[in-house]
Amino acid sequence: MSAEAIPTTSRELRLVSRPADRLTQENFELVEVPTPTPGDGEVLVRNEWMFLGSVYRDLMNEETALPIPNYEIGKTPWCTTVGTVVVSHNEELPVGTFVLHYEGWREWAVVSPGFGVKKLDRSLLPGAEYYLANGPTAWRGIVEMAGAGEGDIVFVSGATGAVGTLAGQIAKARGAKLVIGSTGSKEKVDFLLNEAGFDAAFDYHDGPVLDQLRALAPDGITVCFDNVGGDQFEAAVEHAQPGARFALCGALSGQIGGTDGDHPRLALMRAIAKQLTFRGFATFDTEEQLAAWNQQFSTWLKEDKISFAHTVVKGGVPFAAEAFIGLLDKKYAGTVVLQLND
Ligand SMILES: NC(=O)c1ccc[n+]([C@@H]2O[C@H](COP(=O)([O-])OP(=O)(O)OC[C@H]3O[C@@H](n4cnc5c(N)ncnc54)[C@H](OP(=O)(O)O)[C@@H]3O)[C@@H](O)[C@H]2O)c1
Protein backbone atom coordinates (compact mmCIF):
# COMPACT_ATOMS: atom_id res chain seq x y z
CA MET A 1 0.00 0.00 0.00
CA SER A 2 1.36 3.42 -0.92
CA ALA A 3 1.92 6.03 1.77
CA GLU A 4 -0.81 8.17 0.14
CA ALA A 5 -3.39 5.43 0.80
CA ILE A 6 -2.77 5.55 4.55
CA PRO A 7 -5.27 7.98 6.05
CA THR A 8 -3.91 10.74 8.29
CA THR A 9 -6.54 9.97 10.94
CA SER A 10 -8.27 6.76 11.97
CA ARG A 11 -10.73 5.52 14.58
CA GLU A 12 -10.41 3.55 17.78
CA LEU A 13 -12.62 2.71 20.72
CA ARG A 14 -11.67 3.45 24.32
CA LEU A 15 -13.04 2.00 27.51
CA VAL A 16 -13.84 5.09 29.58
CA SER A 17 -15.51 3.51 32.63
CA ARG A 18 -15.95 0.11 34.18
CA PRO A 19 -19.42 -1.38 33.68
CA ALA A 20 -21.37 -1.48 36.94
CA ASP A 21 -23.20 -4.62 35.92
CA ARG A 22 -24.63 -4.39 32.43
CA LEU A 23 -22.22 -3.07 29.81
CA THR A 24 -23.57 -0.07 27.88
CA GLN A 25 -22.41 2.16 25.03
CA GLU A 26 -21.63 4.82 27.66
CA ASN A 27 -18.73 2.69 28.90
CA PHE A 28 -16.98 3.38 25.58
CA GLU A 29 -15.83 6.39 23.61
CA LEU A 30 -15.20 6.37 19.86
CA VAL A 31 -12.24 8.63 19.07
CA GLU A 32 -10.54 9.85 15.91
CA VAL A 33 -6.76 9.93 16.32
CA PRO A 34 -3.78 10.60 14.06
CA THR A 35 -2.97 7.30 12.40
CA PRO A 36 0.04 6.05 14.39
CA THR A 37 3.54 6.18 12.91
CA PRO A 38 5.86 3.24 13.53
CA GLY A 39 9.16 3.97 15.27
CA ASP A 40 12.43 2.07 15.07
CA GLY A 41 11.81 -1.68 14.99
CA GLU A 42 8.04 -1.21 14.67
CA VAL A 43 5.54 -1.80 11.88
CA LEU A 44 2.18 -0.29 10.91
CA VAL A 45 -0.63 -2.82 10.45
CA ARG A 46 -3.88 -2.24 8.61
CA ASN A 47 -6.28 -4.20 10.83
CA GLU A 48 -8.78 -6.40 9.03
CA TRP A 49 -10.71 -8.43 11.61
CA MET A 50 -10.98 -8.62 15.39
CA PHE A 51 -12.35 -11.43 17.52
CA LEU A 52 -15.23 -10.79 19.94
CA GLY A 53 -15.59 -13.12 22.95
CA SER A 54 -17.28 -13.00 26.35
CA VAL A 55 -13.88 -13.10 28.00
CA TYR A 56 -13.41 -9.40 27.20
CA ARG A 57 -16.30 -8.57 29.54
CA ASP A 58 -14.30 -10.08 32.41
CA LEU A 59 -11.34 -7.93 31.46
CA MET A 60 -13.43 -4.77 31.89
CA ASN A 61 -13.74 -5.43 35.63
CA GLU A 62 -11.41 -3.89 38.19
CA GLU A 63 -10.24 -7.36 39.09
CA THR A 64 -10.31 -10.64 37.25
CA ALA A 65 -9.28 -14.19 38.06
CA LEU A 66 -8.05 -14.62 34.49
CA PRO A 67 -4.32 -15.07 33.88
CA ILE A 68 -4.26 -12.20 31.34
CA PRO A 69 -4.13 -8.40 31.81
CA ASN A 70 -7.44 -6.64 32.39
CA TYR A 71 -8.38 -3.45 30.56
CA GLU A 72 -7.24 0.00 31.65
CA ILE A 73 -9.67 2.89 31.81
CA GLY A 74 -9.08 5.61 29.21
CA LYS A 75 -7.19 3.28 26.90
CA THR A 76 -8.06 1.26 23.84
CA PRO A 77 -8.35 -2.33 25.05
CA TRP A 78 -6.37 -5.22 23.64
CA CYS A 79 -7.97 -8.06 21.69
CA THR A 80 -7.04 -10.70 19.16
CA THR A 81 -6.81 -9.11 15.72
CA VAL A 82 -5.45 -9.91 12.27
CA GLY A 83 -4.13 -7.54 9.63
CA THR A 84 -1.39 -6.80 7.13
CA VAL A 85 1.87 -4.90 7.57
CA VAL A 86 1.84 -1.79 5.36
CA VAL A 87 4.88 0.11 6.70
CA SER A 88 7.85 -1.74 8.14
CA HIS A 89 10.85 -0.65 10.14
CA ASN A 90 11.64 -4.23 11.04
CA GLU A 91 13.10 -6.82 8.72
CA GLU A 92 11.37 -9.69 10.57
CA LEU A 93 8.00 -8.28 9.48
CA PRO A 94 8.32 -6.94 5.94
CA VAL A 95 5.53 -5.07 4.16
CA GLY A 96 2.81 -7.52 3.14
CA THR A 97 3.27 -9.86 6.13
CA PHE A 98 -0.07 -11.13 7.44
CA VAL A 99 -0.04 -11.08 11.25
CA LEU A 100 -2.08 -11.87 14.33
CA HIS A 101 -1.60 -9.37 17.16
CA TYR A 102 -3.44 -7.83 20.11
CA GLU A 103 -3.82 -4.14 19.15
CA GLY A 104 -7.49 -4.34 18.21
CA TRP A 105 -10.59 -2.14 18.69
CA ARG A 106 -8.87 0.20 16.18
CA GLU A 107 -8.41 0.48 12.43
CA TRP A 108 -4.63 0.86 12.29
CA ALA A 109 -2.08 -0.40 14.79
CA VAL A 110 1.61 0.00 15.46
CA VAL A 111 3.12 -3.26 16.69
CA SER A 112 6.59 -4.61 17.20
CA PRO A 113 7.90 -8.17 17.21
CA GLY A 114 8.16 -9.64 20.67
CA PHE A 115 4.80 -8.24 21.80
CA GLY A 116 2.71 -11.24 20.88
CA VAL A 117 2.83 -10.66 17.12
CA LYS A 118 2.59 -13.89 15.15
CA LYS A 119 3.28 -14.30 11.45
CA LEU A 120 0.63 -16.26 9.55
CA ASP A 121 0.56 -18.08 6.24
CA ARG A 122 -2.35 -16.36 4.52
CA SER A 123 -2.61 -18.99 1.80
CA LEU A 124 -3.64 -21.74 4.21
CA LEU A 125 -7.23 -20.80 5.07
CA PRO A 126 -10.14 -19.50 2.95
CA GLY A 127 -10.32 -16.04 4.56
CA ALA A 128 -8.42 -13.75 6.92
CA GLU A 129 -11.12 -14.12 9.59
CA TYR A 130 -10.53 -17.89 9.79
CA TYR A 131 -7.26 -17.16 11.60
CA LEU A 132 -9.31 -15.90 14.57
CA ALA A 133 -10.77 -19.36 15.22
CA ASN A 134 -10.22 -20.50 18.80
CA GLY A 135 -8.80 -23.80 17.58
CA PRO A 136 -5.74 -23.99 19.83
CA THR A 137 -7.97 -23.70 22.93
CA ALA A 138 -10.52 -26.22 21.70
CA TRP A 139 -7.74 -28.61 20.64
CA ARG A 140 -5.95 -28.30 23.94
CA GLY A 141 -9.07 -29.15 25.92
CA ILE A 142 -10.39 -31.93 23.71
CA VAL A 143 -7.10 -33.59 22.81
CA GLU A 144 -4.52 -32.74 25.48
CA MET A 145 -6.74 -32.43 28.57
CA ALA A 146 -9.56 -34.90 27.88
CA GLY A 147 -7.84 -37.15 25.33
CA ALA A 148 -11.14 -37.41 23.45
CA GLY A 149 -11.25 -39.65 20.40
CA GLU A 150 -12.57 -42.92 19.02
CA GLY A 151 -15.83 -44.06 20.66
CA ASP A 152 -16.19 -41.20 23.17
CA ILE A 153 -19.51 -39.71 24.18
CA VAL A 154 -18.75 -36.01 24.50
CA PHE A 155 -20.77 -33.25 26.12
CA VAL A 156 -19.79 -29.65 25.26
CA SER A 157 -21.50 -26.96 27.34
CA GLY A 158 -21.73 -23.45 25.89
CA ALA A 159 -21.44 -25.22 22.56
CA THR A 160 -22.36 -22.32 20.27
CA GLY A 161 -19.50 -20.16 21.53
CA ALA A 162 -16.25 -19.66 19.66
CA VAL A 163 -14.50 -22.45 21.57
CA GLY A 164 -17.47 -24.81 21.90
CA THR A 165 -18.29 -25.02 18.19
CA LEU A 166 -14.74 -26.13 17.49
CA ALA A 167 -14.37 -28.39 20.53
CA GLY A 168 -17.36 -30.48 19.40
CA GLN A 169 -16.10 -30.71 15.84
CA ILE A 170 -12.56 -31.65 16.86
CA ALA A 171 -13.98 -34.46 19.00
CA LYS A 172 -16.08 -35.59 16.05
CA ALA A 173 -13.14 -35.41 13.61
CA ARG A 174 -11.16 -37.61 16.02
CA GLY A 175 -13.79 -40.32 15.97
CA ALA A 176 -16.10 -39.53 18.90
CA LYS A 177 -19.24 -41.67 18.79
CA LEU A 178 -21.65 -38.99 19.95
CA VAL A 179 -21.15 -35.25 20.45
CA ILE A 180 -23.82 -33.33 22.34
CA GLY A 181 -23.95 -29.55 22.80
CA SER A 182 -25.95 -27.30 25.10
CA THR A 183 -27.15 -23.86 24.12
CA GLY A 184 -29.82 -21.26 24.88
CA SER A 185 -32.39 -21.28 22.07
CA LYS A 186 -34.10 -23.39 19.43
CA GLU A 187 -32.30 -21.42 16.67
CA LYS A 188 -28.95 -22.20 18.23
CA VAL A 189 -29.84 -25.88 18.62
CA ASP A 190 -30.47 -25.89 14.85
CA PHE A 191 -27.19 -24.06 14.30
CA LEU A 192 -25.30 -26.75 16.23
CA LEU A 193 -26.95 -29.55 14.28
CA ASN A 194 -26.84 -27.98 10.83
CA GLU A 195 -23.74 -25.80 10.81
CA ALA A 196 -21.43 -27.02 13.55
CA GLY A 197 -21.57 -30.77 13.00
CA PHE A 198 -22.98 -31.79 16.41
CA ASP A 199 -24.90 -35.08 16.60
CA ALA A 200 -27.32 -33.80 19.22
CA ALA A 201 -28.07 -30.57 21.03
CA PHE A 202 -30.47 -29.18 23.61
CA ASP A 203 -31.70 -25.85 24.91
CA TYR A 204 -30.86 -25.56 28.60
CA HIS A 205 -34.11 -23.61 29.13
CA ASP A 206 -36.13 -26.69 28.15
CA GLY A 207 -35.74 -28.55 31.45
CA PRO A 208 -33.08 -29.77 33.87
CA VAL A 209 -29.75 -30.35 32.13
CA LEU A 210 -29.46 -33.78 33.75
CA ASP A 211 -32.77 -34.92 32.25
CA GLN A 212 -31.72 -33.70 28.81
CA LEU A 213 -28.37 -35.45 29.02
CA ARG A 214 -30.06 -38.68 30.13
CA ALA A 215 -32.40 -38.51 27.15
CA LEU A 216 -29.67 -37.86 24.58
CA ALA A 217 -26.96 -40.11 26.03
CA PRO A 218 -28.65 -42.90 28.01
CA ASP A 219 -25.30 -44.63 28.64
CA GLY A 220 -23.68 -41.56 30.17
CA ILE A 221 -20.88 -39.32 28.92
CA THR A 222 -17.18 -40.14 28.79
CA VAL A 223 -15.89 -36.60 28.15
CA CYS A 224 -17.11 -33.16 29.21
CA PHE A 225 -15.70 -29.96 27.71
CA ASP A 226 -17.11 -27.37 30.09
CA ASN A 227 -17.45 -23.71 29.11
CA VAL A 228 -20.28 -22.89 31.48
CA GLY A 229 -19.91 -24.29 35.01
CA GLY A 230 -22.93 -24.07 37.33
CA ASP A 231 -25.70 -26.61 36.93
CA GLN A 232 -24.33 -27.81 33.58
CA PHE A 233 -21.13 -28.95 35.26
CA GLU A 234 -23.08 -30.54 38.13
CA ALA A 235 -25.30 -32.47 35.69
CA ALA A 236 -22.27 -33.64 33.70
CA VAL A 237 -20.65 -35.02 36.87
CA GLU A 238 -23.85 -36.82 37.77
CA HIS A 239 -24.22 -38.30 34.29
CA ALA A 240 -20.54 -39.20 33.76
CA GLN A 241 -19.49 -42.77 33.15
CA PRO A 242 -16.75 -44.17 35.42
CA GLY A 243 -13.39 -42.80 34.30
CA ALA A 244 -14.86 -39.80 32.43
CA ARG A 245 -12.51 -36.89 31.74
CA PHE A 246 -13.44 -33.22 32.21
CA ALA A 247 -11.67 -30.38 30.40
CA LEU A 248 -12.50 -27.20 32.32
CA CYS A 249 -12.29 -24.33 29.85
CA GLY A 250 -14.59 -21.58 31.14
CA ALA A 251 -17.36 -20.64 33.56
CA LEU A 252 -19.66 -18.52 31.39
CA SER A 253 -22.52 -18.76 33.87
CA GLY A 254 -20.34 -17.02 36.43
CA GLN A 255 -18.50 -14.70 34.09
CA ILE A 256 -21.51 -12.87 32.64
CA GLY A 257 -24.41 -11.55 34.63
CA GLY A 258 -22.91 -11.93 38.09
CA THR A 259 -24.38 -15.34 38.89
CA ASP A 260 -22.46 -17.80 41.05
CA GLY A 261 -22.08 -20.26 38.19
CA ASP A 262 -18.36 -20.51 38.75
CA HIS A 263 -19.02 -22.11 42.16
CA PRO A 264 -20.83 -25.32 41.23
CA ARG A 265 -21.30 -27.99 43.86
CA LEU A 266 -19.06 -30.95 43.22
CA ALA A 267 -20.62 -34.23 44.32
CA LEU A 268 -17.31 -35.33 45.74
CA MET A 269 -18.10 -38.94 46.57
CA ARG A 270 -19.59 -39.42 43.07
CA ALA A 271 -16.43 -37.99 41.52
CA ILE A 272 -14.23 -40.21 43.69
CA ALA A 273 -16.27 -43.35 43.22
CA LYS A 274 -16.39 -42.86 39.46
CA GLN A 275 -12.69 -41.91 39.34
CA LEU A 276 -13.37 -38.78 37.30
CA THR A 277 -10.53 -36.58 36.07
CA PHE A 278 -10.84 -32.77 36.08
CA ARG A 279 -8.28 -30.70 34.26
CA GLY A 280 -8.47 -26.92 34.15
CA PHE A 281 -6.36 -25.25 31.50
CA ALA A 282 -5.41 -21.81 30.18
CA THR A 283 -4.10 -21.54 26.65
CA PHE A 284 -1.53 -18.93 25.62
CA ASP A 285 -1.10 -19.60 21.92
CA THR A 286 2.50 -19.67 20.75
CA GLU A 287 3.38 -19.09 17.10
CA GLU A 288 4.08 -22.84 16.82
CA GLN A 289 0.71 -23.86 18.36
CA LEU A 290 -1.08 -21.45 16.08
CA ALA A 291 0.76 -22.69 12.98
CA ALA A 292 0.06 -26.34 13.91
CA TRP A 293 -3.64 -25.59 14.44
CA ASN A 294 -3.95 -23.60 11.18
CA GLN A 295 -2.37 -26.51 9.30
CA GLN A 296 -4.76 -29.00 10.89
CA PHE A 297 -7.72 -26.67 10.34
CA SER A 298 -6.80 -26.30 6.67
CA THR A 299 -6.59 -30.09 6.21
CA TRP A 300 -9.90 -30.76 7.94
CA LEU A 301 -11.66 -27.96 6.03
CA LYS A 302 -10.48 -29.48 2.73
CA GLU A 303 -11.59 -32.94 3.88
CA ASP A 304 -14.97 -31.52 4.96
CA LYS A 305 -14.39 -32.81 8.48
CA ILE A 306 -14.89 -29.41 10.09
CA SER A 307 -16.58 -26.10 9.36
CA PHE A 308 -15.81 -22.62 10.59
CA ALA A 309 -19.18 -21.89 12.17
CA HIS A 310 -19.00 -18.13 12.61
CA THR A 311 -20.89 -14.85 12.51
CA VAL A 312 -19.51 -11.93 10.51
CA VAL A 313 -20.35 -8.52 11.96
CA LYS A 314 -19.86 -5.49 9.76
CA GLY A 315 -19.75 -1.81 10.66
CA GLY A 316 -16.14 -1.54 11.77
CA VAL A 317 -14.85 0.25 14.87
CA PRO A 318 -17.93 2.57 15.14
CA PHE A 319 -20.07 -0.55 15.59
CA ALA A 320 -17.69 -2.43 17.90
CA ALA A 321 -19.38 -1.47 21.20
CA GLU A 322 -22.84 -2.38 19.94
CA ALA A 323 -21.53 -5.62 18.46
CA PHE A 324 -19.91 -6.60 21.74
CA ILE A 325 -23.04 -5.79 23.73
CA GLY A 326 -24.95 -7.94 21.21
CA LEU A 327 -22.57 -10.82 21.89
CA LEU A 328 -23.18 -10.52 25.64
CA ASP A 329 -26.92 -10.49 24.89
CA LYS A 330 -26.35 -13.90 23.21
CA LYS A 331 -27.41 -12.63 19.78
CA TYR A 332 -24.70 -14.41 17.82
CA ALA A 333 -23.58 -17.97 17.23
CA GLY A 334 -20.16 -19.45 16.56
CA THR A 335 -16.97 -17.42 16.45
CA VAL A 336 -17.89 -13.75 16.26
CA VAL A 337 -15.62 -11.66 14.04
CA LEU A 338 -15.90 -7.92 13.44
CA GLN A 339 -14.64 -6.52 10.15
CA LEU A 340 -12.48 -3.47 10.85
CA ASN A 341 -11.59 -2.15 7.38
CA ASP A 342 -13.70 -3.12 4.40
N1 LIG B 1 -9.14 -21.91 29.12
C2 LIG B 1 -8.76 -21.19 28.10
O3 LIG B 1 -7.60 -21.22 27.66
C4 LIG B 1 -9.78 -20.34 27.41
C5 LIG B 1 -9.51 -19.69 26.20
C6 LIG B 1 -10.54 -18.97 25.57
C7 LIG B 1 -11.80 -18.87 26.18
N8 LIG B 1 -11.99 -19.48 27.39
C9 LIG B 1 -13.30 -19.45 28.05
O10 LIG B 1 -14.14 -20.34 27.35
C11 LIG B 1 -15.50 -19.95 27.52
C12 LIG B 1 -16.14 -19.87 26.16
O13 LIG B 1 -15.54 -18.80 25.45
P14 LIG B 1 -16.08 -18.44 23.99
O15 LIG B 1 -15.20 -17.36 23.46
O16 LIG B 1 -16.30 -19.68 23.24
O17 LIG B 1 -17.50 -17.85 24.35
P18 LIG B 1 -18.40 -16.91 23.48
O19 LIG B 1 -18.16 -17.14 22.04
O20 LIG B 1 -18.27 -15.52 23.98
O21 LIG B 1 -19.82 -17.49 23.87
C22 LIG B 1 -20.92 -16.69 23.86
C23 LIG B 1 -22.12 -17.57 24.17
O24 LIG B 1 -22.01 -18.13 25.48
C25 LIG B 1 -23.29 -18.49 25.95
N26 LIG B 1 -23.51 -18.04 27.31
C27 LIG B 1 -23.36 -16.79 27.81
N28 LIG B 1 -23.72 -16.75 29.11
C29 LIG B 1 -24.12 -18.00 29.43
C30 LIG B 1 -24.63 -18.59 30.63
N31 LIG B 1 -24.80 -17.87 31.74
N32 LIG B 1 -24.91 -19.90 30.60
C33 LIG B 1 -24.75 -20.64 29.49
N34 LIG B 1 -24.29 -20.12 28.32
C35 LIG B 1 -23.99 -18.83 28.30
C36 LIG B 1 -24.29 -17.75 25.03
O37 LIG B 1 -24.87 -18.72 24.19
P38 LIG B 1 -26.30 -19.37 24.54
O39 LIG B 1 -27.29 -18.58 23.77
O40 LIG B 1 -26.12 -20.76 24.10
O41 LIG B 1 -26.52 -19.24 26.03
C42 LIG B 1 -23.41 -16.82 24.21
O43 LIG B 1 -23.92 -16.58 22.91
C44 LIG B 1 -15.45 -18.64 28.28
O45 LIG B 1 -15.67 -18.94 29.63
C46 LIG B 1 -14.04 -18.13 28.06
O47 LIG B 1 -13.61 -17.29 29.10
C48 LIG B 1 -11.02 -20.22 27.99
Q: What is the pLDDT of residues 305-319, one digit of tens each?
A: 999 999 999 999 999
Query: What CA–CA distance (Å, rounded) separates 280 from 152?
Result: 20
Q: Is the CB of residue 118 less than 8 Å from the CB of residue 287?
A: yes
**Residue 342 pLDDT greater than 80, yes or no:** no
Q: Is the CB of residue 85 less than 8 Å from the CB of residue 97?
A: yes
Q: What does the pLDDT average to over 38-64? A: 94
> Which protein residues touch ligand 1 with a CB less than 6 Å away?
53-55, 134, 137, 158, 160-164, 183-185, 188, 227-228, 249-253, 255-257, 261, 281-283, 327, 330
Q: Does 221 map to a domain?
A: yes
CA of 92 to the centre of ligand 1 (A): 35
CATH of residue 327's domain is: 3.90.180.10
pLDDT-based confidence at residue 280 (cuts at 50, 70, 90): very high
Same domain (yes/no): 204, 231: yes
Same domain (yes/no): 142, 257: yes
**Residue 1 pLDDT greater than 80, yes or no:** no
Q: Does 287 map to a domain?
A: no
Q: What does the pLDDT average to over 14-40? A: 96
Q: Does 11 map to a domain?
A: yes
Q: Does 43 map to a domain?
A: yes
Q: What is the pLDDT of residues 57-89, one digit of tens each?
A: 999 998 888 888 899 999 999 999 999 999 999
Q: Does 126 map to a domain?
A: no
pLDDT-based confidence at residue 259 (cuts at 50, 70, 90): low
Residue nearest to atom 21 of ligand 1 (CA): 161
pLDDT given for residue 81 in this prediction: 98
Residues 6+ apart with CB under 8 A from 288: none
Query: What CA–CA distance (Å, rounded) separates 65 from 223?
Result: 25
Q: Does 303 map to a domain?
A: no
Q: Does 207 map to a domain?
A: yes
pLDDT-based confidence at residue 2 (cuts at 50, 70, 90): low
pLDDT given for residue 285 in this prediction: 82
CATH of residue 146's domain is: 3.40.50.720
Same domain (yes/no): 111, 141: no
pLDDT-based confidence at residue 274 (cuts at 50, 70, 90): very high
Same domain (yes/no): 60, 174: no
- Count up the domains in the chain and report the number: 2
Same domain (yes/no): 196, 168: yes
pLDDT given for residue 258 in this prediction: 61
- The type of residue at 229 is G
**Residue 205 pLDDT greater than 70, yes or no:** yes
Domain residues for 45?
Answer: 3-94+107-116+308-339
Strands (E), 64-199: 81-88, 98-101, 108-111, 118-119, 153-156, 178-183
Q: Is the CB of residue 313 less than 8 Å from the CB of residue 332?
A: yes
pLDDT given for residue 15 in this prediction: 98
Same domain (yes/no): 270, 329: no
CA of 10 to the centre of ligand 1 (A): 31
Same domain (yes/no): 88, 203: no
